[in-house]
Amino acid sequence: MSQERPRTTISVIKADIGSLAGHHVVHPDTMAAAAKVLAEAKSKGIIIDYYVTHVGDDLELIMTHRKGVDSPEVHEVAWNAFQEAAKVARELGLYAAGQDLLAEAFSGNVRGLGPSAAEMEIVERPSEPIIVFMADKTEPGAFNLPLFRVFADPFNTAGLVIDPKLHGGFKFEIYDVIEGRYVVLNAPEEMYDILALIGTPGRFVIRRIFRKSDDEIAAVVSVERLNLIAGRYVGKDDPVAIVRAQAGFPAVGEILEAFAFPHMVAGWMRGSHFGPLMPVSQRHARCTRFDGPPRLVALGFQVKNGRLIGPSDLFDDPAFDETRRLAQLIADYIRRHGPFMPHRLGPEEMEYTTLPEVLEKLKNRFKEAKLYEVKGPKVKTELLSSSRG
């Protein structure tokens, strides 16, 4: 009788705990403080392995363990690591120290407390390559377009056409961040339904993707929205994602290809602007121009018996130089709009920024105008008077 193979959980948990000189880069002393907490957890057997890194002003904890998704024990380790890092940030006088830590005490899970988490539990293949994506100055919906291309677009992923293991397609779990509910849709059969939802990335976010043939998990994205948790603007969500690659999943090159187009995402300066998502190397993961543009780092690992082998800095490649150049051209163009849409976010998103404070100051200075009649939720452009001037 064969023994059941152990399951490995990969947890990527991030938080903004303070930055050197504004919102642009994590201080190495805060990373060291977090790593010390994780090293202790490893020595106690709580986690198997870990890797501490950053993208922009976000501290990233990559951990492996046997305790499953949403483990209170593992999440407490992450919480304690962020607390210790935030303590160092305050001692150094770093900007926005402890920004993403919205609660005073840990309550069993970091979700809802400020940090974001992407986790998946798997039975390791003989060779288990994964890619950890980490973004700064944007929201979870930033992954909608590239992940759709990876797992549903045959013009991006050749394996959907020529690899029998991928040919059956994938299932998309799409989460409504406003209503707190989700729907599972199949590709390619329900491709148009998928696009109808995820084309509104501020509300409908791809949370998980599964292979249809056996329900094996392929990808997971953090979907926490900080402004919805806090009820006010406290910083952009800066999502993370884990994607499995090769041998029944898209190849590493197919996954990265989806990010060769620097598509427009919400976030950037004060979380209030659209800008291009720029894939960068770890050493360039610092947001400076207008606190941006939004950055994305991709680290490739092999997972073996819970150990993290690597990483490889996947966007540290001249093949992405033209993508970065295009991102800068887009940034130049969109920046010329200044405070105007479409550079500035629409009113439904600006509601969660600091703009309402400005509108509150002006509200008593507005005077009623009787040029048009307002009926229901829509403005009807019908003159109340039939006279013509």
Other CB atoms within a 10 A radius of the CB of residue 274 amount to 22
Degrees (nearest 5) of the Cα angle 255, 259, 261?
A: 140
Ligand-binding annotation for 65, yes or no, is: no
Across-strand partners of 120?
A: 10
* Tokens coding 288: 């400076």
Query: Distance (Å, rounded) from C-alpha 285 to C-alpha 265?
Result: 17
Q: What is the DSSP string of 153-175?
A: -TTT-THHHH-TTTTT-EEEEEE
Ligand-binding annotation for 282, yes or no, is: no
Ligand-binding annotation for 227, yes or no, is: no
* Tokens coding 247: 């041998």
Q: Which of 14, 67, 171, 236 is catalytic?
A: 236
Query: Distance (Å, rounded) from C-alpha 182 to C-alpha 331?
Result: 33
Judge contact between 182 and 140, C-beta under 8 A.
Answer: no
Q: Identify residue 47 by its one-letter amino acid code.
A: I
Degrees (nearest 5) of the Cα angle 121, 125, 128?
A: 80
Ligand-binding annotation for 236, yes or no, is: yes
H-helix segments, 153-248: 159-162, 191-198, 226-230
321 is catalytic: no
Ligand-binding annotation for 313, yes or no, is: no
Q: How many residues can be counted in the chain?
A: 389
Q: Which of 50, 100, 233, 313 is catalytic?
A: 233
- Among 272, 274, 279, 318, which Cα is nearest to 298's? 279
Ligand-binding annotation for 29, yes or no, is: no
Task: Count CA within 13 A, CB hemisphere, residue 41.
Answer: 27
Judge contact between 148 and 194, C-beta under 8 A.
Answer: yes
* Tokens coding 211: 């292979």
Degrees (nearest 5) of the Cα angle 3, 63, 30?
A: 165
Ligand-binding annotation for 304, yes or no, is: no
- Among 58, 78, 77, which Cα is nearest to 18's? 58
316 is catalytic: no
Ligand-binding annotation for 214, yes or no, is: no
Query: Distance (Å, rounded) from C-alpha 112 to C-alpha 259?
Result: 29
Ligand-binding annotation for 95, yes or no, is: yes
Q: Which of 14, 16, 50, 171 is catalytic?
A: 16
236 is catalytic: yes
Ligand-binding annotation for 267, yes or no, is: no
Across-strand partners of 187?
A: 170
Three-state DSSP at 197 gives: helix
Residue positions forming the annotated binding site: 16, 23, 57-58, 95, 99, 108-109, 136-137, 236-238, 270, 291, 352
Residue positions forming the annotated binding site for beta-D-fructose 1,6-bisphosphate: 23, 95, 108-109, 137, 270, 291, 352
Q: Which residues are catalytic?
A: 16, 233, 236
Residue positions forming the annotated binding site for Mg(2+): 16, 23, 57-58, 99, 136, 236-238
Residue positions forming the annotated binding site for dihydroxyacetone phosphate: 23, 137, 270, 291
